Structure 1
Amino acid sequence: MPDSPAEVHDPLRAARASGVDRLLQEFRDARDRFVASDPGWARLRQGVRAIVAVGSTLLVEFALAQLLGEPALLGMLLGAVVAMLMSTGIRDEHRRVIALTAGAAPFAAAGGASLGVLTAEQHLLGLVTFVLVSFGAVWIRRFGPRWFTLGFLLWQGFFFALLLHPPVSSLPFLLIAIAVSGVWVGGLLLTVLFEDPQGRLLRIVTALRARARSGIAAAVGVLDEPRDPRAIRQLRRQLIQLSEIALLLDGRLADRRALPEGVPPARMRRWTVDFEIGMDEVAGATVDIATRLTDVPPATVAVVRQVLTALGWADAGRAVSAAEQIDLTDESNVPAVRRLASAALFLLETVRRWDSGELRSPAPAGTDGPADILDEDEGFEPVVNLIGGNLPGSALLAQQTIERVDAGRWSPSRMRLTTRQAIQAGVAAGLAIVAGEAISTQRFYWAVIAAFVAFAGTATSGETLQKGASRIVGTVLGLVGAVGLADLVNGHKGVAIAAILGCVFLAFFLQQLSYGLMVFFITVMLGQLYTLLGSYSDELLLVRLAETVAGAAIGILVSLLVLPTHSRATLRVARQSFLGSLGDLLEACAVTLEGQVPERDLLTLTVSLDAGGRQLVRTRRALTKGRLFGADRAGLRHRITVLGSCGASARTVAASISGARPDAGLARASRELAAEARRLGDLPHLGQPGESGPGEVTALHRVRSLLEEVPPDNRIALHALRRLNEALALLGPRSVVAPSV
Structure 2
Amino acid sequence: MASDPGLGRLQLGLAGAGNVAVCMVVGYGLALLLHAGAQGTVVFMLLSSVVAMIGTNALVDHRIRANAITAAYFPLAMGAGITAGTLLAPSQPASLVGFVVVMFLAVWMRRFGLGYFFYGFMLWNGYFFASFLKTTLPALPAMLVAIIVATAVVLLLSCTVFRRHPRRTLAAVFRSMSARQRGLARACIALLEADPGSPGADRASLAIFRARARATEAALMSDGWAAHAPALPEGWTASTLRARLLELQLGLDRLTLGTRRLAATDAAPAIRAAAVEALGALATPNPARAREAAPALPELASAAPLSVQAAAADLHRGISIVTSVPNRPVLSRTVQENEPQFVPAAGLVLGQLPGIPSVASEVDPRGAAWNPLTRLQFATRQAVQVAVAGTLAILVGSLISGQRYYWAVIAAFVSFAGTGTRFDTTRKSLLRVAGTLGGLVAGVVVARLTNGNLFAALAVIVASIFCGNYLMRISYAYMIFFLTIMLSELYALLGQFSDELLLLRLDETAAGAAVGIAVALLVTPVSTRDTIKVVQGSVLAAVADLLGTLHDRALDPASVSANAVDERVIAADNQLRRLVLVGEPLTRYQIWENRPRAIRRRLTLVANIVATARSLSDAASRLRQPDVELAAEIGKVADLARTAAGATGDGAAPAAVPVLAGEPLDPSARAITQNLPTQAHAALDRLQALLREIT
TM-score for the superposition, normalised by structure 2: 0.91
Partner deviation per Cα, 1:87-127 (whole Å, 9 max, x = no partner) = 12222232111001111112212222222233222111110
Equivalent of 2:2 in 21, 33, 36: 36
Equivalence for 1:614: 577
Equivalent of 1:646 in 609, 615, 625: 609
Equivalence for 1:205: 174
- Is 1:185 the counterpart of 2:146? The answer is no
Equivalence for 2:464: 503
Equivalent of 1:637 in 597, 600, 606: 600
Cα distance between partner residues in 2 of 1:297 and 1:675: 41
The verdict on how the C-alpha distance between 1:615 and 1:690 changes in structure 2, with shifts beyond 3 A counting, is: closer
CA contact (8 A) 1:624 1:631 kept: no
Cα distance between partner residues in 2 of 1:532 and 1:614: 45
CA contact (8 A) 2:598 2:653 kept: no
Deviates more, 1:82-91 or 1:205-214: 82-91
CA contact (8 A) 2:60 2:163 kept: no
Shift of 1:489: 1.4
CA contact (8 A) 1:90 1:149 kept: no
Cα distance between partner residues in 2 of 1:680 and 1:110: 52
CA contact (8 A) 1:653 1:720 kept: yes
- Is 1:54 the counterpart of 2:17? The answer is no
- Is 1:446 the counterpart of 2:407? The answer is yes
The verdict on how the C-alpha distance between 1:164 and 1:345 changes in structure 2, with shifts beyond 3 A counting, is: same
CA contact (8 A) 1:57 1:184 kept: yes
Shift of 1:624: 6.0
Cα distance between partner residues in 1 of 2:282 and 2:654: 46
Cα distance between partner residues in 2 of 1:182 and 1:288: 57
Aligned length: 674
Equivalent of 2:66 in 93, 97, 108: 97
Pairing 1:59-70 to 2, within 5 Å after superposition: 59-70=25-36
Corresponding residue SS for 1:36: coil
Equivalence for 1:730: 693
CA contact (8 A) 2:61 2:351 kept: yes
Equivalence for 2:218: 245
Shift of 1:518: 0.6
Equivalence for 1:397: 359
Cα distance between partner residues in 2 of 1:392 and 1:690: 28
Equivalence for 2:304: 332
CA contact (8 A) 1:474 1:517 kept: yes
- Is 1:679 the counterpart of 2:650? The answer is no
The verdict on how the C-alpha distance between 1:120 and 1:722 changes in structure 2, with shifts beyond 3 A counting, is: same
CA contact (8 A) 1:285 1:340 kept: yes
Equivalent of 1:153 in 102, 105, 122: 122
Equivalence for 1:604: 567
The verdict on how the C-alpha distance between 1:132 and 1:407 changes in structure 2, with shifts beyond 3 A counting, is: closer
The verdict on how the C-alpha distance between 1:141 and 1:654 changes in structure 2, with shifts beyond 3 A counting, is: same
CA contact (8 A) 2:599 2:653 kept: no
Shift of 1:172: 2.4
Pairing 1:113-132 to 2, within 5 Å after superposition: 113-132=82-101
Pairing 1:514-529 to 2, within 5 Å after superposition: 514-529=475-490
Cα distance between partner residues in 2 of 1:386 and 1:376: 17
Shift of 1:706: 11
Equivalence for 1:582: 543
Cα distance between partner residues in 1 of 2:384 and 2:125: 18
Partner deviation per Cα, 1:282-307 (whole Å, 9 max, x = no partner) = 12101211111x3x233332322221
CA contact (8 A) 1:669 1:706 kept: no
Cα distance between partner residues in 2 of 1:701 and 1:121: 72
Equivalence for 2:42: 73
Unaligned ranges ≥5, structure 1: 1-34, 363-374, 733-741
Identity of aligned residues (%): 34
Equivalence for 1:229: 202
Cα distance between partner residues in 1 of 2:285 and 2:443: 45
CA contact (8 A) 2:641 2:691 kept: yes
Partner deviation per Cα, 1:525-560 (whole Å, 9 max, x = no partner) = 111111111111111111111110111111111111
Equivalence for 1:307: 278
User: Residue type of the partner of 2:53?
Assistant: M
Partner deviation per Cα, 1:647-693 (whole Å, 9 max, x = no partner) = 111112112322414444433332222222221222212797999xx
User: Residue type of the partner of 1:332?
Assistant: A
Cα distance between partner residues in 1 of 2:653 and 2:9: 45
CA contact (8 A) 1:113 1:161 kept: yes
Corresponding residue SS for 1:400: coil
- Is 1:272 the counterpart of 2:245? The answer is yes
User: Residue type of the partner of 1:318?
Assistant: R
Cα distance between partner residues in 1 of 2:11 and 2:274: 42
Partner deviation per Cα, 1:341-392 (whole Å, 9 max, x = no partner) = 12211211113x755899x9x9xxxxxxxxxxxx993422332111111111
CA contact (8 A) 1:141 1:148 kept: yes
- Is 1:322 the counterpart of 2:293? The answer is yes
Deviates more, 1:619-628 or 1:422-431: 619-628
- Is 1:281 the counterpart of 2:243? The answer is no
Partner deviation per Cα, 1:129-163 (whole Å, 9 max, x = no partner) = 11111001001111111110111111112223344
TM-score for the superposition, normalised by structure 1: 0.85
Partner deviation per Cα, 1:616-646 (whole Å, 9 max, x = no partner) = 1122235567987456432222111111111
